[in-house]
Structures are given as structure tokens and as C-alpha cells.
């Protein structure tokens, strides 16, 4: 790390968006860029193996945070994995490359008053990042930094799942990121040559040789320093607990994620004044929306026992794990080359919805993620997540100590509609797993289990087993209303020299995984910070996404 103490741009957080931003800003040789990441490097091989995801939700590369007790879920406390490693979520996720529905972005622009963020506006930024293995058309491109590819040699149960979904009324879809999102099929993955394509490896690593880019890991930012209404730098914790001031002559860009970004603003005195005073933080700028508007996808699941070794459960045994490792090292095939969630789809719980509101992920085993039951015999899991929750939660400080874990309250199922749709999605997942196409592979449903049929029992099952889908957003939302934290150009309202750039700026959660959209936000933010004109809008139509049009397909 250089001894320089002043930079043009300081980026706090080297996650999905932060690495993109650092790489793009440092393309200009006339500016000095510093990227600060509280986590460590991604040298461990598990970060680069697609199947390494199974270890990530169990503690590797994460903060180890939990929610507060969820009052609408029987007081349940949920594990809430947030990345603590360079590359952020893109280094520990299941590598599913999904963008959401076109109508998500149309809503941002129309309902959120966020001009320049409609679907036709953001599609060119998705494409700029992309190096797609096989698709090049109005929706896809190749030659960008981010590897996007098809699954490597998925097991036959994946094809059987797609047939079963069709038998249950969900049509086949070969590209969830094309004109139409609804349907069942294979996911595109952020992998290249059977290795994870994180933003650390795809964007940041190629830029590390630039003399104008400095990257510091294991560097926790304690606060943003504001003088006379302008962010002038950050205080960073050094060895021995000493705080060092690093100055930003142009801008500080907060890119610490949907939990970390509001936490940093709050501990810097930027947020709701009453809360800041209550925890002993001096108020620097009263901004009511900071840490509000938290949205997340809650995940329910079906676990079935298989009729044979159709998934990867038995590779947890030492001798099988050794063989899987050899397969991967020599041939880049086998279980280690799998993200373990390669097949899924999007469909409707509410048939009046304008676009799909349920997402499925077929897990090639049981107990893949932390807190999910593992069977003694080979199992398969079908996750079901409700995509458009109406409930809103908060991120708050537990104390004035920057090292204290935040109070994370997604407030799941505060709105009864969310519960109703979640349970409908779970029932649809159960129906898919009962179809004829899966009979050669699936022996019986273990969870929730055939005895769980009444709604009261389903609710109890959900209270005990539900988990986050790791898609928190919205806590520094973009917009122009009183609860907005940033403007559409991502500048923090009421302060100069400060922007936020990550999933926290989403006015509403996209109808999919959030890594791809976070990368897009990094791309769009880079042009905004550099003062470049936006890329020309994509000349695409937005077809009807509703249930009637899709079920007819």
C-alpha cells in the first residue's frame, strides 16, 4: 500500500459494484483512485471454485451477522450472510446471472422518479460488462470483463426438473435475461472456463497494474469525514486501533452493500437524527431515509429424498470429495464445477401480477446452505422465493462503536400479502416436485413433508425453516422524495462530494438475484462520476410480462 494520504476518489467497499467502479474510474490515468475493503483477499481456492458457494453461507468470507428477532415469524432470528472479502457478494454467491424483469426498471424510472434508470437505459450497461459464452443479440454481448456462461455438464435431474415444471404449467425459457423472464430453464452463471467470474477477478485484477489505482484490504472505514457540508475523506482503522484520515479531493463513493453502506453513513452521523442521538452519534446531516426501506427475498424450500445418487450429496464423503477435486483440477468437470443451483425459473403466485413474482432454484443436494436440513441419503432441494415483498425493514446501529454488528430487521411478512404469496410459491414448488418427469429421480418429499397440508402447519414450517435469499436492497434508496437518500445521479441529498453506489440505492428490489444488477449499477455509476454521457438507450420493445400472456405460451 502506498503512503499517499490523498486521492481523487476513495471507494469504501470492494464488492460487486465497488470493484467495477474502481476499475472503470482508474481507466483515466489522470486521477488517483483508492479502493478500501474491510475483508481480506480472495486467494483461497474455494473463492474460485463454483461449488465453493456451499461453504460461503457457512461462514467463509462473511461478517457472521444475524437479523433481530422477526416479530411476524414467531421471533425467529435468521442468519444473514453478507460478504467480507474482496469482490463482495460476487465472490461468495451461487453465481446466478439474472437481471430482473424489464418492468422493475420501468418502475424505478416512473414510480421512483429516477430518470435514466429505465430498462432501455440500463440494458446497455448490462451488455457492456458481459462476455457471454454463446449469446450475442439485442440483450447480450461478448468481449466485456464479466464471464457469463452455461452450466458445465449438469446432471440429468436438471432436465427432468425442467420437464416437470412444464407439466405443472410453467413453460420452458432458454434465456431469463431476454425479452421474457417467465418460465423454467437453465440459469446463466458468472463463470468462465469453470471458474467463478467475480468482480474482483473480472474487473479489478486486470486493473491492479495501473499506477493510479491503490487497493487496501483488511481496512475498515470508521466514518466519512464531513466539513462544511462536503465529504472530504474517510477515517480508516489501522493496526493497533489507530485511525488514519485519508482525503478525497473529488468524491467519496460508498459501496459497502445494502447493510454496510447505511451502517457507514449512520456511524458517520448521516441519517435519522433521533436514532443517531439515541445511540450516541453526533448528528452531521439529518437524512431520514438512511437505513430505511430494507427489502429482501425470503426463501422457502422443498427437500426430497432421491431414488439414487442423482445429486451431489454423497460427495461430502472424504474419498468422493477427493475424486471430485481431481476431476475439477484435471478436467474442469464434475461437482466442483457446479454452482449447485444451475436450474430454476420464474413464475406467478399472484396471477394478477404484471410480471413473475416467484423464483425457483433447484439445489443439487440437501443442506447446501447454512441452516437448511441435510438428509442422510441423497436429496434434492427446490427453493421458492417471493420476489416483490411489500414489507419494509430497517438497518440501525446497536451502538456508536463502528465495530459493533448492525441491527438488521428485514421485517419479513409484516404485510400479510407477502406471507400469502410466499406460501403459494412453496405450494407450486411442491407441485413441481410431484410431477411425472421427476418420478425416476424423486422418491418422496421429506420437508415440509406429506403431513403438512393445512395453512397453519405451512406457516409453522416457514417460521422454523425460512431463510434469506441474500438479496437485501433499498437502504439508501434513489429518488427525489423525503425518504430518498441519493438522487438519480447517486449523490447523497444535501451533501457534496459523496455518492452511494451499490444495491442499497435500488428504490425497490429487482425480481431476481441482485449481483447482476449491482454490477450494472457500478457500470452506470462510473459514467455518472466521470461526467460521461449515458450510453444510448437500447432499441428494444418490452412485451407483456403478465400471467395471461405467459401461460398461453
Q: Active-site residue numbers?
A: 471
C-alpha cell of 549? 400472456
Q: What is the CA radius of gyration of the chain?
A: 22
Rounded to whole angstroms, how far apart are CA atoms 381 and 411? 26
Q: Is the peptide bond before 58 cis (omega within 30 degrees of 0)?
A: no
Q: How many helices (H) and strands (E) does the chain have?
A: 15, 22
- Whose cell is 431476454? That residue is 178
**Residue 486: which region, alpha, beta or left (left: phi > 0; alpha: psi -120 to 50)?**
beta
**Alpha-helix runs per DSSP H in 34-180:** 53-56, 89-92, 102-110, 119-129, 156-167
Q: Give the end-to-end CA distance of the chain in Å, rounded to a whole number.
A: 57
**Alpha-helix runs per DSSP H in 113-219:** 119-129, 156-167, 199, 205-207
For 108, the 3-state DSSP assignment is helix
C-alpha cell of 328? 475439477
C-alpha cell of 49? 471454485
Rounded to whole angstroms, how far apart are CA atoms 8 and 455? 57
Q: Give the chain's length.
A: 553
Amino acid at each position: 500500500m502506498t503512503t499517499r494520504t490523498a486521492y481523487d476518489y476513495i471507494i469504501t467497499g470492494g464488492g460487486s459494484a465497488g470493484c467495477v467502479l474502481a476499475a472503470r474510474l482508474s481507466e483515466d490515468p489522470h486521477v488517483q483512485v483508492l479502493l478500501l475493503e474491510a475483508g481480506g483477499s480472495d486467494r483461497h481456492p474455494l473463492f474460485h471454485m463454483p461449488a465453493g458457494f456451499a461453504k460461503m453461507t457457512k461462514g467463509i468470507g462473511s461478517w457472521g451477522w444475524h437479523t433481530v428477532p422477526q416479530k411476524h415469524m414467531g421471533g425467529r432470528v435468521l442468519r444473514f450472510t453478507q460478504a467480507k472479502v474482496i469482490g463482495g457478494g460476487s465472490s461468495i454467491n451461487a453465481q446466478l446471472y439474472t437481471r430482473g424483469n424489464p418492468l422493475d426498471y420501468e418502475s424505478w424510472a416512473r414510480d421512483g422518479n429516477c430518470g435514466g434508470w429505465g430498462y432501455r437505459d440500463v440494458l446497455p450497461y448490462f451488455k457492456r460488462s458481459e462476455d457471454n459464452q454463446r449469446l450475442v443479440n439485442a440483450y447480450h454481448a461478448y468481449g466485456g470483463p464479466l464471464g457469463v456462461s452455461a452450466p458445465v455438464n449438469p446432471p440429468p435431474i436438471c432436465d427432468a426438473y425442467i420437464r416437470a415444471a412444464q407439466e405443472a404449467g410453467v413453460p420452458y425459457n432458454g434465456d431469463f435475461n431476454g425479452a421474457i423472464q417467465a418460465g423454467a430453464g437453465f440459469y446463466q452463471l458468472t463463470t468462465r472456463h469453470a471458474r467463478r467470474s467475480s468482480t474482483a477477478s473480472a474487473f479489478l485484477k486486470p486493473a491492479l497494474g495501473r499506477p493510479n489505482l491503490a487497493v487496501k484490504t483488511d481496512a475498515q472505514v470508521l466514518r466519512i469525514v464531513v466539513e462544511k457540508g462536503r465529504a472530504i475523506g474517510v477515517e480508516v482503522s489501522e493496526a493497533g486501533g489507530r485511525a488514519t484520515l485519508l482525503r478525497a479531493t473529488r468524491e467519496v463513493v460508498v459501496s459497502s452493500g445494502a447493510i454496510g453502506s447505511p451502517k457507514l453513513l449512520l456511524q458517520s452521523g448521516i441519517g435519522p437524527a433521533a436514532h443517531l442521538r439515541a445511540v450516541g452519534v453526533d448528528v452531521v446531516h439529518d437524512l431520514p431515509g438512511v437505513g430505511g426501506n430494507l427489502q429482501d427475498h425470503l426463501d422457502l424450500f422443498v427437500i426430497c429424498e432421491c431414488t439414487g445418487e442423482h445429486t451431489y450429496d454423497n460427495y461430502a464423503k472424504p474419498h468422493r470429495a477427493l475424486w471430485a477435486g481431481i476431476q475439477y483440477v484435471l478436467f474442469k468437470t464434475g461437482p466442483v464445477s457446479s454452482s449447485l443451483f444451475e436450474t430454476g425459473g420464474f413464475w406467478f403466485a399472484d396471477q394478477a401480477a404484471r410480471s413473475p413474482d416467484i423464483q425457483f432454484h433447484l439445489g443439487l443436494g440437501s443442506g447446501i446452505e447454512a441452516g437448511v436440513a441435510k438428509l442422510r441419503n441423497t436429496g434434492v432441494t427446490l427453493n421458492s422465493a417471493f420476489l416483490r415483498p411489500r414489507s419494509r425493514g430497517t438497518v440501525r446501529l446497536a451502538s456508536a462503536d463502528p465495530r459493533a454488528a448492525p441491527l438488521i430487521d428485514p421485517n419479513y411478512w409484516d404485510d400479510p400479502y407477502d406471507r400469502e404469496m410466499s406460501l403459494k410459491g412453496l405450494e407450486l414448488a411442491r407441485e413441481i416436485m410431484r410431477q411425472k418427469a421427476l418420478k425416476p429421480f424423486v422418491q418422496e418429499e421429506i420437508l415440509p413433508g406429506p403431513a403438512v397440508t393445512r395453512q397453519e402447519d405451512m406457516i409453522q414450517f416457514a417460521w422454523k425453516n425460512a431463510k434469506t435469499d441474500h438479496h437485501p436492497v433499498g437502504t439508501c434508496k434513489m429518488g427525489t422524495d423525503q425518504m430518498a437518500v441519493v438522487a438519480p445521479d447517486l449523490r447523497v441529498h444535501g451533501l457534496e462530494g459523496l455518492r452511494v453506489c451499490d444495491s442499497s440505492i435500488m428504490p425497490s428490489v429487482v425480481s431476481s438475484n441482485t449481483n447482476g444488477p449491482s454490477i450494472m449499477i457500478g457500470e452506470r455509476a462510473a459514467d455518472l462520476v466521470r461526467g460521461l454521457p449515458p450510453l444510448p438507450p437500447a432499441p428494444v420493445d418490452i412485451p407483456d410480462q403478465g400471467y395471461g400472456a405467459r401461460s398461453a405460451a
